[in-house]
Amino acid sequence: MKPIHKTTLLAIVICAATILTATYVQLSAHGILPPCSYLDPPIVDYLAFSAGLFLLIEGAYSINKNKNIATNHQLARIMRIAFGCAIVTLHTLQFLHK
């Protein structure tokens, strides 16, 4: 298996786990905590969503640009993509809540 395929597969698995964990934590908090409204204006969600997309796209671009680098040297890029997925997920759920 080529390094790019291993890296892509690992990135997909970590991103899926990140999205599922962020969604679970966000949705399960609604049952435990009293109903509350997020105080941030919608522009904060738009800006955070944009920053998350930037991290996601830039990380994927960097991985694709360095196709022949071993997966263990791509972990920082994979984590960048995972952080982007977490930010996009959380702020999408917060925006839907508003």
What confidence tens digit (pLDDT) does each residue in 27-59 have? 887 666 655 556 667 788 788 889 999 999 999
What's the number of domains the chain is made of?
Answer: 1
The arithmetic mean of pLDDT across residues 23-27, rounded, is 86
Question: Cα separation of 14 and 18, whole Å?
Answer: 6
Q: Domain containing 15: what range?
A: 3-97
Torsion, CA 98, CA 92, CA 20, CA 62, rounded to 10: -160
The per-type count for the chain, helices as H runs and strands as E runs, is: 3, 0
Q: Flag whether the pTM goes above 0.95.
A: no
How many CB atoms neighbour CB 38 within 10 A?
A: 14
pLDDT at 76: 94
pLDDT at 28: 82
